Structure 1
């Protein structure tokens, strides 16, 4: 991790040095960041003592540093000798560029999935760390509020499944009765049999409080009240379902003296792929720092690291289910007809754009260029350009949703919280970015 990497860095640059590190603990606010409480003592690049991270109790580490050994190391290393007399170097200016009309050949490799480590061992370690951050953040919020009940909308999809598993971990860590987790599945016009069955089976198998509240009648009545034409499956029809579900979640939370745990992820926040004041809203968003390309790996990791038997089988089937908001009726065969990636584009492309535009600050034309190389043979330039333009348009136009997003933990090097990592006006325009892309 970063602390151990810092020890290696100090050991390489400054032989003969001691390194003592103490991070803020899990008792700090978990509004947007979860603190690990990590303590570490190192000598000459070697870790002598290290505390367990993400604990709620106090931890003290004690170790002995051999100052004579460090002094001997310094005597043997010229780094600690007196600084030489300053010299005035000769500076020769030159221009490094590519001849007009020529595209430079890219010799380095860019990962298709920059949020997901390619090495399986490192990927599992990352999943374990992220899962700990998510569950610690939620556990901290539960301790702060003193509440023993939470409400989650469980759809049978990846995001809500991850939120449920994180919540279960938080309850286990605090010694709370898992019956205090109230899972609601709310089938509507677009719900498929596969997700409905998986949602109920998962909740029952995990031993939480499971409830099913169909929303068809309530949505139909609401659409009649606002005089929406019957059979018109437009954005009003879709958003009415999302808002009906959120109203139920909030009211059940009041009824049970609990709070709503949100399920939306980082990629959805970037694209605005959520209904304002519906699935966009909760009291604590545990997935808000997790990109979509990583959600599947987290659920898969949890299935094998935390669950066995029937639980694991259900989770594996959820991982294999197409991503969908299920707001439009299923096909004649009963299968999911509305698939998200057919509407907004491949999430692996959007996560690639998100990482390099926001994390690396690359201009759109460069992102297009490296994406062409990274996804060669999978998407052509026309497809990548189309979805990159879509990403830029959506990222700018949907900032108003991120400006009022709920609390939730940052889990990596990129986050979109308006309170910390990403301060952007809601009326910013994408014009200059689109023009640069061409």
Structure 2
């Protein structure tokens, strides 16, 4: 429960049709098993206490009494369990003389509420209207198992000890309907929707069912737990396979078919609330009806994580997904630059080429944009500007890359110009301080801007999202350009984009492939300090930390608004086999310190295309005062020592 995680499960008991006593035993046994596994919220199938396939037996008093007695047995057997459980049974309402297909929400021997099914299928193999009445508009109390219980579709169940956990319930066909009850429940605060289902299996139906569950969780920004009927239901005409799913905001966390038992994962309700908070259209439109809200309590404790957390959240881990992501990003970025070149009538695109990853990607994107415009690659002016820290390897790679791409190459050694500038300002050449480094970066930017003026062109920025987050750029140096094509691409993804294009050119141009591979093998460095024996002496990740960690921190801080404590916990979970806790905490502190102190550089960024869900443009995703205090975040970090 801490950090917003709640363990949930979809369960499918093995039942016998119409044997309520046996089914009750199976249900409370499964509830006990779920409790042992730390599950706090459990959804069970539609009408699981009787079986969904009872047919006209639903009209028999014997079955209805058996269902109530079975529920009483479950309440008594689980009165010491904290787990909140939704299970299905038929409920006869003496008040209006109707039979309802209901979900009973129970905890610690108490029935918290009854939710009647709204949409009753009566087509194909379904005949529910033969036995049940729709719960639409039903809002009153009834007596069940000696308790006075609310019977109402418009009710939610809120956890007193975890305010962001609010449970809503719908039943099977309700999800298939044009206006599912879960929509209004979510608009009134439900963050986790439970669906008690008895959906029979047909060829292709699982894919459709899966798309409904994941799509609804995305549309409502909620967790969605789908529990399906399985073994034991009648197979006279259809088969049920227990297709259980747990989804969160469009992502399928866990899934199981053709089996009984539990499907378990953890839903992050704080993450859902953050997304709802930032999406102001979530509550627009006609106000939903009043919702009855029932409170319950769960003990506050650590939720053991079993859900997968990617160590590289910006990078798909499967090869096919990664290739698709790379292709899409390259197309978006190059389309953005194409439009800017068209609009300005620029005769050239000027790229400062260092022989490193970022400038390589910027050149490749620029070449794609030129191709879209049916313009020759020679309209790209690639400028390499060796200085005190430039190595033969990076200089050679920059020259080879420009040659293979067909760009117009300019080699301008800026060493003399920088020395003269240092003489003018009284900078000692032996003092390798920030002035020594930034003087080179600003000289390079001046050269690029002036060449752009000479050629009627635009300077194409090369800095990436990770560098912007850390402020790892020189203000009014490499920080500045006319259009920054890499500005929303994180460093971990930059590498994969270059690798993708390297593979794409393996057969077309072997020499281009080879130079791209060597660039990929070159340590990340600004090369602003003198080389040592011809080798790079300044390695970025030794100074600011591994980009693998910083991109992880950035994703969860920027995209999901997680606090430092939660990011640290997730980093330990996802990257703990690669980095020690001390190392993770060290660089997390560095990340927050630099992120807050370097905002002034992000407040005046040049234009550039957004390609993913996280970006730092001051005109788009991120508006933050340059003088905001980091005290609250730093104080929380200190508690992690």
Q: TM-score range by the shorter chain?
A: 0.7 to 0.9
Q: In the alignment, which residue of structure 2 is the partner of 1:118?
A: 317
TM-score by length of 1: 0.79
- Per-residue CA deviations over 1:316-354 (Å, capped at 9, x if unaligned) read 11111110000001112x111100000000000000000
Q: In the alignment, which residue of structure 2 is the partner of 1:221?
A: 420
| Offset at residue 89 of structure 1 (A) | 4.8
Q: Which runs of 4+ in 1 moved over 3 A?
A: 11-17, 86-90
Give 5+ residue unaligned stretches, structure 1: 1-10, 18-43, 46-85
For the pair shown, the structure with the greater C-alpha radius of gyration is 2
Note if 1:382 corresponds to 2:604. no
Identify which of 419, 424, 429 aligns with 2:624.
424
Note if 1:234 corresponds to 2:437. no
Aligned ranges for residues 95-244 of structure 1 at < 5 Å? 95-98=298-301, 104-244=303-443
| Offset at residue 148 of structure 1 (A) | 2.2
| Offset at residue 15 of structure 1 (A) | 6.4
Q: 2-side partners of 1:153 and 1:350: how far apart?
A: 25
Note if 1:370 corresponds to 2:573. no
Please tell me whether the aligned partners of residues 337 and 483 of structure 2 are also in contact (alpha carbons under 8 angstroms): yes
Distance 1:402 1:90, change over 3 A: closer
Between structures 1 and 2, the one with greater strand share: 2
Q: 2-side partners of 1:174 and 1:13: how far apart?
A: 47
Please tell me whether the aligned partners of residues 383 and 410 of structure 2 are also in contact (alpha carbons under 8 angstroms): yes
Give 5+ residue unaligned stretches, structure 2: 1-172, 180-207, 210-288
Please tell me whether the aligned partners of residues 152 and 184 of structure 1 are also in contact (alpha carbons under 8 angstroms): yes
Residue aligned with 1:92, SS: strand
| Offset at residue 184 of structure 1 (A) | 0.3
Q: In the alignment, which residue of structure 1 is the partner of 2:524?
A: 323
Q: In the alignment, which residue of structure 2 is the partner of 1:252?
A: 451
Q: In the alignment, which residue of structure 2 is the partner of 1:299?
A: 498
Please tell me whether the aligned partners of residues 148 and 176 of structure 1 are also in contact (alpha carbons under 8 angstroms): no
Residue aligned with 2:459, SS: strand
Residue aligned with 1:91, SS: strand
| Offset at residue 90 of structure 1 (A) | 6.4
Deviating more after overlay: 279-288 vs 229-238: 229-238
Q: 2-side partners of 1:410 and 1:319: how far apart?
A: 24
Distance 1:313 1:13, change over 3 A: farther
Q: 2-side partners of 1:212 and 1:196: how far apart?
A: 9
| Offset at residue 162 of structure 1 (A) | 0.3
- Per-residue CA deviations over 1:102-139 (Å, capped at 9, x if unaligned) read x5533223111000001110000000000000100000
Residue aligned with 1:348, SS: helix
Q: 1-side partners of 2:537 and 2:427: how far apart?
A: 23
| Offset at residue 355 of structure 1 (A) | 0.3
Identify which of 555, 562, 566 aligns with 1:355.
555
Note if 1:269 corresponds to 2:468. yes
Deviating more after overlay: 286-295 vs 142-151: 142-151
Q: 1-side partners of 2:413 and 2:543: how far apart?
A: 26
Please tell me whether the aligned partners of residues 139 and 173 of structure 1 are also in contact (alpha carbons under 8 angstroms): yes
Distance 1:90 1:369, change over 3 A: closer
Q: In the alignment, which residue of structure 2 is the partner of 1:342?
A: 542
Please tell me whether the aligned partners of residues 429 and 436 of structure 2 are also in contact (alpha carbons under 8 angstroms): no
Residue aligned with 2:350, SS: strand
- Per-residue CA deviations over 1:382-407 (Å, capped at 9, x if unaligned) read 11111001100100010000000000
Q: 2-side partners of 1:191 and 1:368: how far apart?
A: 37
Deviating more after overlay: 349-358 vs 172-181: 172-181
Q: 2-side partners of 1:164 and 1:299: how far apart?
A: 11
Q: 1-side partners of 2:293 and 2:605: how far apart?
A: 53
| Offset at residue 372 of structure 1 (A) | 0.9
- Per-residue CA deviations over 1:229-261 (Å, capped at 9, x if unaligned) read 231111100000000000000000000011100
Please tell me whether the aligned partners of residues 158 and 299 of structure 1 are also in contact (alpha carbons under 8 angstroms): yes
Between structures 1 and 2, the one with greater helix share: 1
Distance 1:328 1:125, change over 3 A: same
Distance 1:369 1:219, change over 3 A: same
Please tell me whether the aligned partners of residues 388 and 415 of structure 2 are also in contact (alpha carbons under 8 angstroms): yes
Q: 2-side partners of 1:357 and 1:404: how far apart?
A: 21
Q: 2-side partners of 1:239 and 1:92: how far apart?
A: 59
Q: Number of matched residues?
A: 357
Aligned ranges for residues 60-79 of structure 1 at < 5 Å? none
TM-score by length of 2: 0.54
- Per-residue CA deviations over 1:343-381 (Å, capped at 9, x if unaligned) read 000000000000011111111011111111111221111
Q: In the alignment, which residue of structure 1 is the partner of 2:296?
A: 93
> Could you say what the CA RMSD is over the residues aligned between the two structures, in angstroms?
2.0
Q: 2-side partners of 1:390 and 1:146: how far apart?
A: 42
| Offset at residue 424 of structure 1 (A) | 0.5
Report which structure shows greater RCO (CA 8 Å, sep ≥6).
Answer: 1
Residue aligned with 2:294, SS: coil
Residue aligned with 2:460, SS: strand
Please tell me whether the aligned partners of residues 263 and 285 of structure 1 are also in contact (alpha carbons under 8 angstroms): yes
Distance 1:94 1:195, change over 3 A: same
Q: 2-side partners of 1:233 and 1:184: how far apart?
A: 25
| Offset at residue 13 of structure 1 (A) | 5.0
